Structure 1
Amino acid sequence: MAEIYPFRDIEKIWQSRWDEHQVFRSTEGGDRPKYYVLEMLPYPSGRLHMGHVRNYSIGDALSRFKRMNGFNVLHPIGWDSFGLPAENAAIKHGIHPEKWTLDNIAFMKTQMKRLGFSYDWARETTTCLPEYYRWNQWFFLEMYKRGLVYRKHGLVNWCNVCQTVLANEQVVNGGCWRDGSAITQKKLAQWCIRITDYAEELLDEIDRLDGWPERVRTMQRNWIGRSVGAKVCFAVDGFAERIEIFTTRIDTIYGANAIILSPEHPMVEALIETHPEQARLREAIDTIIRRIRTDRSFVDTEKEGICLDRYAVNPFNGERLPIWIANFILMEYGTGAIMAVPAHDGRDREFSLKYDLPIRPVVAPVDGCCAEGELYDAYGVLINSGEYSGLTSEAAMDRMSRRAEAEGFGCATVTFRMRDWGISRQRYWGTPIPIVHCEACGLVPVPEQELPVLLPPMERIDYHGGSPLENITEFVHTRCPKCGGPARRDTDTMDTFIDSSWYYLRYTDAQIASAAIDPAKVAYWFPVDIYIGGIEHAVGHLTYTRFWWKMMRDLGMVKGSEPVTRLLTQGMVIKDGAKMSKSLGNIVDPDYLIERFGADTSRLFILFASPPEKDLDWSDQGIEGCFRFLNRVYRIVTKHAHWLAAPAPLPAEPTERQLLLLRKTHQTIAKVTSDIEERLQFNTAIAACMELTNELYAADNAGLDAPGDRAVFRHAVEALILMFSPFVPHLAEELWAQTGHGTYVLDSAWPQADPRYLVAECVEIPIMVNGKLRARVQIPVDADEASVKELVFGVPRIQQLLAEGTLKKHLYVKNKVFNIILK
């Protein structure tokens, strides 16, 4: 019997058989309930890393578990193969993005198969292929028809490293989400999706996402950021244009002492254009802008302001208010302008004290208890507010908002922190925008019958300054679909998050050519039962995904309000105190692990080392321990394989020792089932399987010669193989075959716990040898001394001690302790 089980041969054999017999194929229909297991698809910008292995091992274990429990399981995978990650990797390696991407897909697909992931490869979806991205263009045009897609000129987030625009969700702590480099603002024409039309619904339905982590739901609530208040427009002396602000506290407007603008507010240029000190002001403003762009913490530190020597007029009392520019007002929040009310806002107070602006309280506590000069930011009763004095804050806000609307300078309104989704990217490797620019006709959609607008081949891609597509004459110059005259194609490509917003619907029929999806198949498989991926996608991808589903619902393509029932955000893989990263040199290559220990050991460790939602600390000793465990299982099963293949009925009246193993087996079945089904705690489920393995060794050491011993042992072995098959499928299939089964373990029924053996009829007692604790053993409650002695003397550690000494006597205290005295 081999000391190290032949994992290479075993894994190769079973992967070949699964592939040959298409074991993982799934079809719609039948009488089994459906279950859709979805993991976030990978960027094919390199090899698989351990984060991938963890994510996909979680999904694969659950997929196998559900299939064995009688579900019709959909478990697909694809490739998020457009966009910055793949293109940047291609640039780095000097290879065309298409070749780099497709080569990586082929390599990573091989890695996934080596790991035994049970994907239905017939549903594989690759987003950079025309058969997929033509439907990105179709969706774009459908939204354009309905006014959900529009083009505007404005300031955008620009990454100089990536040479492209980033959506607000892709700016993290003032830097690019990919490389961390500082973001600047650039004025460009951009295509946008009016995601804010769905802001209210996206926010309201967060509370219905009971299967999502509260942390993710909170992040989405904060990102959408609903605020109830009022819009107020302030006239500006000498200018026709007014300054619009949004405030949640219109009741404090009589306490306003200034209007403060973002340095990037579109009206700033006009306000300083005729100023006698225009050059000085422009230089000071540019200095603030540069500091904000390079150090986002600047907005949260000391308040910096510039007075423009211009004045706005408070529409409620006619008071002239100085207009300032300040570092803490950002264009991406609200309107990029505020009214400063220092008596009732801490930030405004700090600014006003620094620049010696007047502070006038206009709201007092209902009970009048507020020290003079003290900040009061709660609701109360209005003072120093003209005709509104004496009103409560709530009543004043209502009356003031109605007056603003009646007189045409404002209204009550709701705003959202979330902005429309800017989807234009000045890159090559993406979905071309299906719009033609015609001097006579303006913006003209490409006719549906001409889709897809194919991404043209390029020998050399110029990535700097503008879109590389602008340099391809045969792509740019075309005819207007409307008038037939000369026209130019749009040269931007779409944000990669477009691709990942609906890919999981395409899995339901990846081959369909006549439509983006087959509604009947989507109706069968949806909603997704569980979606597995990283917390970093909480406010980007997961928000877009929810929006896209609702947009498709409004197109009549899908039904229901939300696409995903349950969300699992798995933790990171940590090594040497940091997330595994090539730049830190702390990565572990999955191929190395597979070659040295096998795919099953790699999967087992990644699932055993930590609960899935927690970070996992890498341990070389841990993976070696998992390898030893699998060898133990292999040895104990193959040792008895010659008779395990012969079925035998369980004894009608099991002995005490047999009852112990039966109870442990069914208690393990109950625990493993509960840990996976209810809590997704694979680590504790695996630990329970390890404990059952120990019991098998104890039973083997005690002897399997009594009538019924082998039947009970075989019963426990079968249960163990079935239960650990979601984690180590190759070894499970091999042992299942060696124990006489002619079917795949994946097609076998999950074991069911027998209630008769779940009653707490056992107790664990310590075994003391010469006064020292040497082991513990499970015994039936109230078992007779002879039965307990047999169990105690069958423990391997006690057998070893007995062989080394001479038994003088033993003493058993019922249900408490077993004492052994050795000479």
Structure 2
Amino acid sequence: MKEYNFKEIEKKWQKDWEEKNLFKTENKVEGKENYYVLEMLPYPSGNLHMGHVRNYTIGDVIARYKKMKGFNILHPIGWDSFGLPAENAAIQNGAHPEKWTASNIATMKNQLKKLGLSYDWDREIASYRDDYYKWNQWIFKKMYEKGLVYKKKSLVNWCPDCQTVLANEQVEDGKCWRHSKTDVVQKELEQWFFKITDYADELLEGHKELKGGWPDKVLTMQKNWIGKSFGTEVKFKLENSDIEIPVFTTRADTLYGVTYCVLAPEHPLVNELILKDNPSIKTEVENMMNQDMITRTAEGKEKNGVFTGKYVINPINNEKVPLWIGDYVLMNYGTGAVMAVPAHDERDFMFAKKYNLPIKVVITPIDKKTKEKIDLKAEEMENAFIDKGVLINSGEFNDLDNKIAITKIAEYLETNNFGERTIKYRLKDWGISRQRYWGTPIPVLYCEKCGEVLEKDENLPVKLPEDVKFTGNGNPVETSETFKNAICPVCGGKAKRETDTMDTFVDSSWYFLRYTDPKNENLPFEKEIANGWSPVDQYIGGIEHAVMHLLYARFFHKVLRDLGLLSTNEPFKRLLTQGMVLGPSYYSKNENRYLYPKEVELKGEKAYSKETGEELIVKVEKMSKSKNNGVDPLHIINEYGSDTARLFSMFAAPPEKELEWNENGLAGANRFLSRIWKLVIENKKHFNTKEINYSNISKVDKKVLRKLHQTIKKVTESIEDNYHFNTAIAAIMELLNDIQDYSVNVINKEESSESKKIFTELLLKTVLLLSPFAPHITQELWKEIGKITYLFEENWPEYIEKLTEEDEMNIAVQVNGKLRGTILVEKANINNKELIEKMALEVENVKKYTEDKNIIKIIVIPGKIVNIVVK
């Protein structure tokens, strides 16, 4: 028998597919509907990890399945190839980022091809190439002209280690998202911004279009990040002054309970007035400012503040309250000032307790039974009261339901010019300036005569300079005199180029549209072509991008639409956020490090250091280099084959769930493929591809045919219904068991030509069902069967509903109302009461309760129950 040599088979078909360019996509195919499946743009780190294998296999299974379902498929790939890692490598190794990046792309491209992925490599893009980033610059210009780009001085998150600015979304627990060794600090810089806030409402409203296609969790994360709040801006006056401090609140009902106000340390008044009058608090204020924005507002973190020595006047009751500066107030949310109501806000309550500030109750709960007010005493409160209630200590608004009071007090403030109702957003404009080399140059110049000007379209791309020095200090672009010194495109005089480059999230905010028309030299993409593929039908990637890439891409898509380049509103119709790949990690307390698996000895559920015998801390965690628990995909491919790696990664868990890597499961997947190989190769001699005569088949034939059609239905529905590939593969495995039994008990014992036709049908359809998951072995088996076509060009198997239905029914048999057994009745005899009564009385357990007894009557409810009444 021909052996299953996966190395030879996979290499053979990968070469064949590539040489014939079989996955090349035409933008239009007559009679076929376009379907665009896409995995998130990968960063070329140089090495695949198991997360890549899982992510790209999901996309490939969908692409192959949809192609077999008759769609014209677009399934492209490219490289998110700008960014800090390449620049850091240049600094550390003396290699230019371009060479480092190109080398990594070549390596990863070769690795991806080993997985047999059905990519149209003709559409490959790389964001570091100037034929791509030229269009970043072109889009920047169009947005600038539309008033969506501006420059201003701003406090930014600064990573001292990376020497660059980070967006709020790129700060995690006070650290840079790229690493966790250096605290992010605040720094004031001139920055370029995209006005994403102009689209805040539409980004929220667009969630309605995405409902059902995107995970609710992602939509909720975006909604919370955009943070639309309806509230009131109240004017607090600085005591003995005409200076007004606007304060935004969503809780106007608590206005009578204000006992102090707090300014953000960045508030203009802090520098302009307060620190001049009270310089002794300058150090404390600077310490607050140097914390990153995310950490300052983190839930559970102790809040810090300092009294300014000044007071403000509450406009609703003319009370004088102290003015503080606090780290938990941000300048980029609301107005940079808050009114503190410690009795009814948990954060204010903790701050008041810490600094011994007054607490005044203005909302009290109502006893549900007596309907009387419950007397809350501030001195006895252990937490803020934040539930519903009625107002007290609130003048003319006393006894109002607090929800009604929000509107009533807001109206009062507006009538008396003490404030006005307004809407605020947590979302702030997107700062895109980065002080680094490896990114898209911003196409702006500063002319001595003309001021700030844009580069002309015909001069794009503004290319990155080659004569730069990677010292590790500052922005390398600043070291290039040839780049900095330029000619003004307006007057021809001397000008200086902008040396900041764009945030790399710009690259990934529209790349999916470039794939539709990647060779276009006149536009980023042709509108008609992009409309033919937009929005992406199925997008696949990690949930960690919910409020970065996915929000930015939605913003860009809407801007490009408004620029007349598109007709669609959203970039991605359906989103699948795949779960992480997990593996066991082994931590040594004594050595303060994670051990490699080869250094570990396993004894049952416990693990020990082979060298020292120390019992290790074992955890199942996300695979990462830092925890030495990663699995090299190339090792898996070399050991078991890419079909096995693909099959296991789809079978071990639903795609949206975490996948725990298991070597035994991998071996099991390999055994399954070997079984189907053996079954086909050993039984080729029995194949009969003639049409089945369904009127001339046995009961056993019917049963196995029913299993086939049930499996086709199950696999199809599992893929269509949220891509439950694990249940689809499980169904194919069950079918294979039945086919093997059929092979042993029927095919190898009988000469029935109908049975051999059915057996052939079973194996042909099983190979087709399995082909999206394991494309190499199935293509080889297809050839062995005698087929000359490519599987992905075949039609997906169709099931016949009638053949999925069971032709026998289980009917319960009762004696005097108690279940005593069951009978299996063919559907053709379901109304044959005489036969059913006879079968019921012959059940062994029923005989025990009817023998020697007088049968009064037998009640038969067809298809449901038989009840024998005895006396």
Provide TM-score, normalisation by structure 1: 0.88
> How far apart, in 1, do the equivalents of 2:688 and 2:557 lie?
51
Q: Percent identity?
A: 48
Alignment of 1:235-246 (within 5 A): 235-237=237-239, 242-246=244-248
Moved more, 673-682 or 638-647: 638-647
C-alpha distance 569-381 of structure 1, shift in aligned 2 (>3 A): same
Which residue number corresponds to residue 759 of structure 1?
805
- Please tell me whether the aligned partners of residues 689 and 760 of structure 2 are also in contact (alpha carbons under 8 angstroms): no
Query: Secondary structure, in 3 states, of the residue corresponding to 2:625?
Result: coil
- Please tell me whether the aligned partners of residues 291 and 298 of structure 1 are also in contact (alpha carbons under 8 angstroms): no
- Please tell me whether the aligned partners of residues 688 and 756 of structure 2 are also in contact (alpha carbons under 8 angstroms): no
Which residue number corresponds to residue 122 of structure 2?
122
Which residue number corresponds to residue 834 of structure 2?
none
Provide TM-score, normalisation by structure 2: 0.84
Deviation at 1:750, TM superposition (A): 0.7
> What letter is aligned with 1:106?
A
Moved more, 11-20 or 343-352: 343-352
1:713 aligns with 2:717: no
Deviation at 1:138, TM superposition (A): 1.0
C-alpha distance 454-217 of structure 1, shift in aligned 2 (>3 A): same
Deviation at 1:650, TM superposition (A): 4.7
> What letter is aligned with 1:583?
S
Aligned counterpart in structure 1 of residue 374 of structure 2, from 370, 373, 378? 370
Aligned counterpart in structure 2 of residue 411 of structure 1, from 407, 420, 423? 420
> What letter is aligned with 1:418?
L
Deviation at 1:122, TM superposition (A): 1.2
Aligned counterpart in structure 2 of residue 435 of structure 1, from 429, 437, 444? 444
> How far apart, in 2, do the equivalents of 1:782 and 1:354 lie?
79
Alignment of 1:300-699 (within 5 A): 300-363=300-363, 369-373=373-377, 375-378=384-387, 382-385=391-394, 393=402, 397-398=406-407, 400-401=409-410, 410-458=419-467, 460-465=469-474, 467-576=475-584, 577-644=620-687, 647=690, 649-650=692-693, 652-699=695-742
Query: Secondary structure, in 3 states, of the residue corresponding to 1:509?
Result: coil
> What letter is aligned with 1:706?
E
Deviation at 1:289, TM superposition (A): 4.4
> How far apart, in 1, do the equivalents of 2:387 and 2:304 lie?
26
Q: Deviations over 1:214-263 (max 9, x none)?
A: 11111111111111001233332466754332111223323322211223
> How far apart, in 2, do the equivalents of 1:271 and 1:368 lie?
48
Deviation at 1:31, TM superposition (A): 1.2
> How far apart, in 1, do the equivalents of 2:564 and 2:7 lie?
50
C-alpha distance 72-343 of structure 1, shift in aligned 2 (>3 A): same
> What letter is aligned with 1:487?
A
Q: Deviations over 1:405-446 (max 9, x none)?
A: 577664211111111111000110000001111233221111
Q: Deviations over 1:102-131 (max 9, x none)?
A: 111111111111111001111111111111
Bigger RCO (CA 8 Å, 6+ sep): 1
> How far apart, in 1, do the equivalents of 2:627 and 2:343 lie?
50
C-alpha distance 392-457 of structure 1, shift in aligned 2 (>3 A): same
- Please tell me whether the aligned partners of residues 533 and 570 of structure 1 are also in contact (alpha carbons under 8 angstroms): yes
> How far apart, in 2, do the equivalents of 1:397 and 1:696 lie?
70
> What letter is aligned with 1:733?
Q
- Please tell me whether the aligned partners of residues 77 and 125 of structure 1 are also in contact (alpha carbons under 8 angstroms): yes
Deviation at 1:386, TM superposition (A): 5.1
Deviation at 1:457, TM superposition (A): 1.3
C-alpha distance 675-814 of structure 1, shift in aligned 2 (>3 A): farther
> How far apart, in 2, do the equivalents of 1:440 and 1:227 lie?
44
- Please tell me whether the aligned partners of residues 157 and 184 of structure 1 are also in contact (alpha carbons under 8 angstroms): yes
- Please tell me whether the aligned partners of residues 370 and 376 of structure 1 are also in contact (alpha carbons under 8 angstroms): no
- Please tell me whether the aligned partners of residues 172 and 294 of structure 2 are also in contact (alpha carbons under 8 angstroms): no
> What letter is aligned with 1:479?
I
Q: CA RMSD in A?
A: 2.7
Which residue number corresponds to residue 10 of structure 2?
11
Deviation at 1:293, TM superposition (A): 7.7
> How far apart, in 1, do the equivalents of 2:824 and 2:782 lie?
30
Q: Deviations over 1:590-622 (max 9, x none)?
A: 111111211111111111111101111111111
- Please tell me whether the aligned partners of residues 782 and 815 of structure 1 are also in contact (alpha carbons under 8 angstroms): no
> What letter is aligned with 1:133?
Y
Which residue number corresponds to residue 19 of structure 2?
20
- Please tell me whether the aligned partners of residues 157 and 292 of structure 2 are also in contact (alpha carbons under 8 angstroms): no
> What letter is aligned with 2:358?
P
Moved more, 550-559 or 346-355: 346-355
C-alpha distance 238-475 of structure 1, shift in aligned 2 (>3 A): farther
> How far apart, in 2, do the equivalents of 1:459 and 1:286 lie?
35
Q: Deviations over 1:71-101 (max 9, x none)?
A: 1111111111112244334445442111111
- Please tell me whether the aligned partners of residues 650 and 725 of structure 2 are also in contact (alpha carbons under 8 angstroms): yes
> How far apart, in 1, do the equivalents of 2:101 and 2:243 lie?
51
- Please tell me whether the aligned partners of residues 44 and 86 of structure 1 are also in contact (alpha carbons under 8 angstroms): no
C-alpha distance 635-814 of structure 1, shift in aligned 2 (>3 A): farther
> How far apart, in 2, do the equivalents of 1:305 and 1:748 lie?
69
1:172 aligns with 2:175: no
> How far apart, in 2, do the equivalents of 1:237 and 1:478 lie?
53
Which residue number corresponds to residue 731 of structure 1?
777
> How far apart, in 2, do the equivalents of 1:81 and 1:700 lie?
53
> What letter is aligned with 1:460?
K
> What letter is aligned with 1:222?
N
> How far apart, in 1, do the equivalents of 2:648 and 2:387 lie?
54
- Please tell me whether the aligned partners of residues 405 and 411 of structure 1 are also in contact (alpha carbons under 8 angstroms): yes
> What letter is aligned with 1:594?
I
Q: Deviations over 1:469-510 (max 9, x none)?
A: 111000001122223221111000000110101000111111
1:222 aligns with 2:268: no
Query: Secondary structure, in 3 states, of the residue corresponding to 1:343?
Result: helix
- Please tell me whether the aligned partners of residues 644 and 673 of structure 2 are also in contact (alpha carbons under 8 angstroms): yes
Unaligned runs of 5+ in 1: 765-778, 784-812, 817-823
- Please tell me whether the aligned partners of residues 292 and 327 of structure 1 are also in contact (alpha carbons under 8 angstroms): no
Moved more, 632-641 or 506-515: 632-641
> What letter is aligned with 2:60?
D
C-alpha distance 237-534 of structure 1, shift in aligned 2 (>3 A): same
Which residue number corresponds to residue 281 of structure 1?
281
Query: Secondary structure, in 3 states, of the residue corresponding to 1:227?
Result: strand
Deviation at 1:46, TM superposition (A): 1.9
- Please tell me whether the aligned partners of residues 342 and 359 of structure 2 are also in contact (alpha carbons under 8 angstroms): yes
C-alpha distance 458-724 of structure 1, shift in aligned 2 (>3 A): farther
Q: Deviations over 1:522-561 (max 9, x none)?
A: 1111221111000101111111111111111111111132
> What letter is aligned with 1:204?
E
> What letter is aligned with 1:185?
Q
C-alpha distance 581-734 of structure 1, shift in aligned 2 (>3 A): same
> What letter is aligned with 2:510?
W
C-alpha distance 59-191 of structure 1, shift in aligned 2 (>3 A): same
> How far apart, in 2, do the equivalents of 1:123 and 1:597 lie?
30
Moved more, 547-556 or 25-34: 25-34
Aligned counterpart in structure 2 of residue 258 of structure 1, from 257, 260, 274? 260
- Please tell me whether the aligned partners of residues 33 and 72 of structure 2 are also in contact (alpha carbons under 8 angstroms): yes
C-alpha distance 628-196 of structure 1, shift in aligned 2 (>3 A): same
> How far apart, in 2, do the equivalents of 1:815 and 1:693 lie?
35
> How far apart, in 2, do the equivalents of 1:294 and 1:148 lie?
26
Aligned counterpart in structure 2 of residue 742 of structure 1, from 785, 788, 809? 788
- Please tell me whether the aligned partners of residues 14 and 730 of structure 1 are also in contact (alpha carbons under 8 angstroms): yes
C-alpha distance 417-728 of structure 1, shift in aligned 2 (>3 A): same
Q: Deviations over 1:603-646 (max 9, x none)?
A: 11111111101111111111111111111111111112245375
> What letter is aligned with 1:501?
S
Query: Secondary structure, in 3 states, of the residue corresponding to 2:506?
Result: helix
